[in-house]
């Protein structure tokens, strides 16, 4: 396969490498992903994360394994193992469905490689289109709030919600960004703050529980977040804490926008209650770990509830900004997301 490089993924010397997002911002460390077991471990430990990026990493690995001589039956097994590695993010399933169709072809090796590279190029275009559509909704002088990480670290391109924000900044319409730290793994504090700093976008980091206070003081003009899955009725699964922001924004009369590619749509999922929510390790809540080491602050044997995602009802969402354009609540009520993805 040709040499390839994005913010978080590289293909060099016929091997997949991922930027360790658990080590950022203190270290910029690239980790090899030579096989399925290694990539699954990277996904589960969030060294590689972001719904679009996970799907792309899995697709690229499938192509590389085929080029290295893995048989078609072995590749079929590998595909299903990768599919099961992250149950909530539907981009992974959608990408692997396309890779599965490529695998069924007689010349499956070249077909897998072509499809994986096509997915990367498509993601870059999707991000650009989302940014262009979303920036039109940003008013001059906006103070925007975002949650988790939705930039180039999570995609092959400029990102989803963060791509919109950065485009708005380039157009001179963003005054400041409020960055939720995003407990428990601090993707906002570690990753979004780092990306905004690299882009030169002014930001201030806040604890998740400070958002309500800012909104009450009229310091937030809009909320922009990404999505891991959008159900047919418009409900959205995203990083835990998103639902809280949506409720707060609704109460304070603040627009709440979702930015995501059409590959995040799941028309087969009727509503948010049908979206599987991943439960993660208790250690993420009882302490903190990173390139700086580990700290435990809760008592030993503390019982923990640690869902990775929550579901925001469609009724709380002001607009869904896709690469195909802005979808309004009225369109969602009319069933636009129930139509096949090829039509949306």
Active site residues: 228
d(CA 221, CA 168): 13
Q: Is the dihedral of CA 341, 310, 218, 186 positive or negative?
A: negative
Taking phi first (over 0 means left), then psi (-120 to 50 degrees means alpha), and beta for anything else, what does residue 172 get?
left
Structure tokens at 114: 């072509």
Taking phi first (over 0 means left), then psi (-120 to 50 degrees means alpha), and beta for anything else, what does residue 271 get?
beta
Structure tokens at 118: 């096509």
Tell me the backbone φ, ψ of residue 320, rounded to 5 degrees: -110, 110
DSSP for 129-152? HHHHHHHTTPPTTEEEEE-S--SG
Question: How many other β-carbons are positioned within 10 Å of the β-carbon of residue 28?
Answer: 10
**Which residue in the block uniquely carries the two structure tokens 């471990």?**
41
Report the interhelical angle of 90-103 vs 72-83 (nearest 10°): 170
Tell me the backbone φ, ψ of residue 148, rounded to 5 degrees: 60, -145
Check: CB of residue 120 under 8 Å from CB of residue 163.
Answer: no
Check: CB of residue 85 under 8 Å from CB of residue 43.
Answer: yes
**Which residue in the block uniquely carries the two structure tokens 């929550």?**
310
Check: CB of residue 135 under 8 Å from CB of residue 162.
Answer: no
Q: Is the dihedral of CA 113, 7, 188, 129 positive or negative?
A: negative
């Amino acid at each position: 396969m040709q040499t390839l490089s994005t913010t978080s993924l590289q293909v060099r010397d016929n091997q997949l490498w991922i930027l360790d997002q658990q080590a950022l911002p203190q270290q910029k460390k690239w980790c090899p992903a030579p096989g399925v077991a290694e990539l699954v471990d990277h996904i589960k430990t969030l060294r590689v994360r972001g719904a679009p990026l996970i799907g792309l990493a899995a697709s690229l690995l499938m192509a590389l394994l085929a080029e290295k001589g893995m048989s078609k039956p072995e590749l079929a097994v590998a595909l299903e193992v990768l599919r099961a590695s992250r149950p909530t993010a539907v981009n992974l399933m959608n990408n692997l469905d396309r890779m599965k169709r490529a695998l069924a072809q007689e010349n499956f090796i070249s077909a897998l490689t072509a499809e994986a590279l096509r997915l990367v190029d498509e993601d870059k275009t999707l991000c650009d289109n989302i940014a262009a559509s979303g920036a039109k909704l940003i008013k001059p002088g906006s103070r925007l709030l975002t949650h988790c990480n939705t930039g180039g670290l999570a995609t092959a391109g400029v990102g989803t919600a963060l791509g919109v924000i950065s485009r708005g900044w380039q157009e001179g319409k963003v005054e400041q960004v409020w960055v939720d730290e995003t407990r428990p793994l601090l993707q906002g504090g570690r990753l979004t703050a780092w990306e905004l700093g690299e882009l030169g976008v002014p930001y201030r980091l806040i604890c998740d529980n400070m958002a309500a206070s800012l909104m009450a003081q009229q310091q937030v003009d809009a909320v922009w977040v990404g999505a891991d899955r959008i159900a047919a009725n418009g409900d959205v699964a995203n990083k835990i804490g998103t639902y809280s922001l949506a409720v707060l924004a609704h109460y304070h009369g603040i627009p709440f926008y979702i930015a995501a590619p059409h590959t995040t749509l799941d028309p087969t999922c009727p509503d948010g209650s049908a979206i599987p929510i991943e439960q993660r390790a208790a250690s993420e809540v009882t302490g903190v770990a990173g390139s700086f080491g580990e700290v435990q602050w809760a008592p030993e044997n503390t019982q923990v509830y640690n869902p990775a995602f929550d579901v925001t009802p469609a009724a709380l969402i002001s607009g869904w900004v896709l690469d195909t354009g802005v979808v309004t609540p009225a369109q969602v009520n009319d069933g636009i997301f129930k139509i096949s993805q090829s039509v949306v």
